[in-house]
Structure 1
Amino acid sequence: MTHNIQQLKKLYKTKGIEITGVTKLVGGNPKIAAVLVANGIEILADSRIENIKKMIKSGIKAQYLLLRTPSLSQVEEVVTYADISLNSELKILKELSKYALIHQTIHKVILMVELGDLREGIMPVDIDNTVKEVLELKGIDFIGIGSNLACYGGVNPDVNKMNELSSIAIHLENKFKIRLTIVSGGNSANYNWFKSSKNTGRINNLRIGESMFLGREALCRKVIPNLFTDAFTLVVEIIETKIKPSKPYGKIYQNANGKIRKIKDKGVMNRGILAIGRQDVAISGIIPKQNISILGASSDHIMIDNTKSNLNVADTVEFSLNYKALLRVLNSSYITKNIIY
């Protein structure tokens, strides 16, 4: 992980881009957050204020950015614990101003601009009016703009999108006679744009999580050269092994996942059960390192074909994980996180 952080910082710095370290994937784990800070990450970003509070209370010294637009019910906590927040709603911004004045502090905000992915963001046609109102809010320091792509709609943060964001930044600076200190172009999905662009314009920040932790860009999930992809391994214990039929027998209705499964009869097989299930991990996102195959899963169990490996009860199966699976695993309270230095 340390190697990945250092390599990414060095890479993006070649074109004047700073990295904000995203900790939501690791559930704001303070030990992992400490590794980011120790390797020069100055801003830690998380979508949950609870994770930010956890890192602060563990003594992690950094600037904290709330990634998700604040909930109205959490505005006071956001002002108290987060130095910066991403925003797209004036109603929320006015409440942030109110509580910043109550707590006699200055809260920094980045306005998110909608560039087509259709998650959070102010429509470009509305950005001028929004900025005008934000600049009048007391207790609020408008420090930048940002965009989010490739998360909901899968829209590519390509040169056209980044040029559009740069143009909006320049327009706002000229119109309102301000200087935006942060123009945040996106996330780990911006790697291909970065590599292919000679001129990154006004983009000077990316919010990086997946590339640091999994060594991949987030657009096509290709490995980034010279990065480790195996920083995390899921280790699961076997709780049953039996010779059983391969096809369920009896009258078939919906299973625990609400599906009526059609399972091919492959005769009897050595079946195993793992002590983990859908509430802990995204089953489609784990790849076994041993010679077993996943047959299916319920909320607390994964069933495997153990015929080739012939593993026994109390043996363990190791898995590599993609982003979706790792997010679920690291935020499950039922899974022990064993951090190796």
Structure 2
Amino acid sequence: MACAPRIEINLAKIAHNAAALVALYGIKNIGLMGVTKAVCGAPEVAKVLLDEGFSMLADSKVVNLKKMKEAGLKADLVLLRAPALSEIDTVIKYADISLNTELSVIEKLSEEALKNHLVHKIIVMIEMGDLREGIMPATLETFIEKVVKLEGIKIVGIGVNFACFGGVKPNNAKMNELSLLATMIQTKFALPLSIVSGGNSANYNWFINATDVTKVNNLRLGESIYLGRETLNRQVIPGLYTDAFTLITEVIEAKIKPSMPYGEIGQNAFGEVPEFRDRGIMNRIILGIGKQDVLVSGLTPLLDIEILGSSSDHMVLNAKESKLQVGDEVTFNLNYGALLSIMTSPYVYKKYSHAL
């Protein structure tokens, strides 16, 4: 019997999605960064992205960039978040490009780059409403003026983030504003800005409807590649696979039990006081996986069964009429949060396949 719990990763479906997205966005001359954070920088997946036309790989963890660099992958490796002061040496070592918003951090990057006799490239992130990272547009010119004086640092682009924290949508007005800022920088500072990164998988609807993408020439894609969806409404992108990743779990208990806990009720393991509805006697199963391994709310079972809840390492389900028994396997589709948590868990076996 195969290991369980495991996540089955279909590299052929990822390759199909990656190639389709490169072709789609290429119609309007938008290049793509392949975001690898949801797969923890897995070289197996990163290689597929490179084979299908991606030339830049982006991750929010330096350890994942290290993993990809040591795997010998030939790509520009991008640190997808602003570096911490405590990791400057490793950022310089493993990231070809980093996203930045703080002058004090860039100054340290400059010092470390000079020590290593190299030039570190940066993308300056601009705040446009989502209120995650970014310099306020009103201060951008002064910021750039200070950064261009630093040795060992080269500004190669500007970028903006949408729909990750505040849920703010990218639209024509936002992209036009970003393009105007790019023009200002290019004109005033004679910087070519090879990258004007307009966002992420949330930009799909803007892209499809835009007659002019202005100066935006880059997007950072993760969920669209792995789950075949845009991220504003989680709608499927036509022609893409949504099941490149599936979670396989094993039944470790199957019993007929009441639907209501009995006894005096207090807090559960996570400090919650759970509430249950009396549904009579129920065919209940337990799977050997829980909140330590996966965002349970992000799972959708393929069988007609119902997730009742979970503890750290048990998931309890109403098996309904499925007749599941101990040792049987149960399969789930997953959303981005579930994918991120499963790939991060060392307790979930990763199984790669190449067949559609």
TM-score by length of 2: 0.95
Q: What does 1:117-266 align with in structure 2 at a 5 Å threshold?
A: 117-266=130-279
Offset of residue 258 of structure 1: 1.3
Residue-by-residue CA offset, 1:165-197 (whole Å, 9 max, x unaligned)? 011000111111221110000000000000010
Could you tell me which residue of structure 1 aligns to residue 292 of structure 2? 279
**1:157 partner letter:** P
What SS class does the counterpart of residue 185 from structure 1 fall into?
A: strand
In 2, Cα distance between equivalents of 1:188 and 1:201 = 18
**Residue 305 (str. 1) matches residue 318 (str. 2):** yes
What SS class does the counterpart of residue 92 from structure 1 fall into?
A: helix
Could you tell me which residue of structure 2 aligns to residue 18 of structure 1? 31
Could you tell me which residue of structure 1 aligns to residue 75 of structure 2? 62
In 2, Cα distance between equivalents of 1:339 and 1:257 = 33
Could you tell me which residue of structure 2 aligns to residue 78 of structure 1? 91
The alignment of Structure 1 onto Structure 2 pairs a total of residues equal to 341
Offset of residue 62 of structure 1: 1.1
Farther off after superposition, 140-149 or 54-63: 54-63
Offset of residue 81 of structure 1: 0.7
User: Which stretches of structure 1, 4 residues or longer, exceed 6 Å deviation after superposition?
Assistant: none
Could you tell me which residue of structure 2 aligns to residue 42 of structure 1? 55
In 1, Cα distance between equivalents of 2:47 and 2:314 = 33
Q: What does 1:318-333 align with in structure 2 at a 5 Å threshold?
A: 318-333=331-346
**1:285 partner letter:** G
Offset of residue 107 of structure 1: 0.4
Higher relative contact order (CA 8 A, sep 6+): 2
**2:86 partner letter:** S
Could you tell me which residue of structure 2 aligns to residue 27 of structure 1? 40
In 2, Cα distance between equivalents of 1:292 and 1:229 = 20
TM-score by length of 1: 0.99
Q: Which runs of 5+ in 2 are unaligned?
A: 1-13
Offset of residue 262 of structure 1: 1.5
Could you tell me which residue of structure 2 aligns to residue 90 of structure 1? 103
Could you tell me which residue of structure 1 aligns to residue 16 of structure 2? 3
Residue-by-residue CA offset, 1:293-318 (whole Å, 9 max, x unaligned)? 11111111100011310101110100
Offset of residue 252 of structure 1: 0.2
Percent identity over the alignment is 52
In 2, Cα distance between equivalents of 1:279 and 1:321 = 16
Offset of residue 232 of structure 1: 0.6
Q: Which runs of 5+ in 1 are unaligned?
A: none
Please give the root-mean-square deviation of Cα atoms over the aligned residues, in Å: 0.7
What SS class does the counterpart of residue 33 from structure 2 fall into?
A: strand
In 1, Cα distance between equivalents of 2:325 and 2:69 = 43
What SS class does the counterpart of residue 183 from structure 2 fall into?
A: helix
Offset of residue 216 of structure 1: 0.3
In 2, Cα distance between equivalents of 1:73 and 1:269 = 53
**1:96 partner letter:** L
